[in-house]
Amino acid sequence: MLRTGASRLALRAYPAPAVRPAASFRCTAPAAQWSQFSSVASKRPQIRPAAQLRPVQAAVMRRTLSQERKEDEDRYAHEKIKATPETVSTTSSIHPMMGEVANNPDATLQHKIEVGSGLKGDIGTIRDTFNFSEVPRQAHYIGLAGVLPYLATSLSTVGCAYEINHSVAGYGYIISAETASKLLQILEPLQIGYGAVILSFLGAIHWGLEFAGYGGNHGYRRYAIGVAAPAIAWPTVLMPVEYALITQFTAFTLLYYVDTRATYRGWTPPWYAIYRFVLTFIVGASIVVTLIGRGEVADADHKLPSAVDRVKELRDHPQDQLAKEEEGIRAQSEAEGAEAEEQGAK
């Protein structure tokens, strides 16, 4: 702001009063100390004393204002504030703590639009994940038909476990507990063996792609996938049921990751990752359901033998039978000898 000569003389004619020295410390009430941090402080925000203008300086500034600014100030001073009670409520002056959406209808509508678009985006992602439009129709049908037996064995395991647990005097709703136990002894090894076959087949696919040269020839890196899959799958046949299912679940998950990376590198067709995801999801869910059903009959009364137990039974059963036959022959010979001695004594 430019000052005239008169304003400078006026400022010199009224020197500022001398400030008395005060102590460098002062005591403040506890309420006054913390009121500046509270939203309900009793003291309104004010300008710092050092920044306030002296009366003479304020008068000079008012004299130097333009006519236009004076008219604006006069209009604002005499303007009456219109009362709008319809816009005033208990929440009209409240700002939400957890968001930036106030009582603005446009902002609320925009927020709803953003939420709706995000939901549509998530639905689109799920639709793209299960999109089989690029998968060949023959591979689609044969792949789904291949996992149906695995799903059937899983559901049958749960059904047999339910019959065993809810049987009354050995009789269930559909079949007896003894029949359900016998079926479990057939279904569980069947599911484990079928899972080993599927894992071996998934590994062999990479051998076929390497033979065809799809995505280039990668040698041992691609052959190793086909070797590792059956090497992990077939030893599960000799494991207990729970350990075998958990091992196969881990193998299916790891092999899906390997197939996804292979698709990303161009070693497989672009649709192969989506195809594998759906099939792996069905197989993994079937394994989880089987483990749940297996846990229902894991008590000692219905403990089912594993493959190792069956091998031991087949190995030990002939020896026990032979020992019983030898004991019977020995007892018969002893009885004949005792009878001969009695006849000789007579």
Q: Where are the domains of the chain?
A: 136-304, 305-346
Whole-number pLDDT of residue 23 = 46
The residue type at 309? D
What pLDDT shows up at residue 230? 93
Euclidean distance between CA atoms 50 and 158, whole angstroms: 83
CA distances from 315 to 13, 234, 241, 310, 319 (A): 123, 22, 20, 9, 7
SS (HEC) of the chain: CCCCHHHHHHHHHCCCCCCCCCCCCCCCCHHHHHHHHCCCCCCCCCCCHHHCCCHHHHHHHHHCCCHHHHHHHHHHHHCCCCCCHHHCCCCCCCCCCCCCCCCCHHHHHHHHHHHHHHHHHHHHHHHHHCCCCCCCHHHHHHHHHHHHHHHHHHHHHHHHHHHHHCCECCECCCCEHHHHHHHHHHHHHHHHHHHHHHHHHHHHHHHHHHHHCCCCCCCHHHHHHHHHHHHHHHHHHHCCHHHHHHHHHHHHHHHHHHHHHHHHHCCCCCCHHHHHHHHHHHHHHHHHHHHHHHHHCCCHHHCCCCHHHHHHHHHHHHHHHHHHHHHHHHHHHHHHHHHHHHHHHC
Q: What is the pLDDT of residue 22?
A: 47
pLDDT of residue 192: 93
Block residue for tokens 């402080």: 41
Residue type, 9: L
C-alpha neighbours within 13 Å on the C-beta side of residue 49? 1
Note down pLDDT in tens along the chain; length 346 residues: 455 554 444 445 445 544 444 444 455 555 444 444 444 444 555 555 544 556 666 665 666 666 777 788 888 888 888 877 777 777 766 666 655 554 555 555 555 555 556 667 677 777 776 677 788 888 888 988 999 999 999 999 888 888 887 766 666 677 787 888 888 888 888 999 999 999 999 999 999 999 998 888 888 989 999 999 999 999 999 998 889 999 999 999 999 999 999 999 889 998 898 888 989 999 999 999 999 888 877 654 445 555 556 666 666 666 677 777 778 788 888 888 777 777 777 6
Res 255: pLDDT:
94
pTM of the shown model:
0.53
Q: Is the CA virtual torsion 298, 300, 303, 306 positive or negative? A: positive
Distance CA 93, CA 100 (A): 14
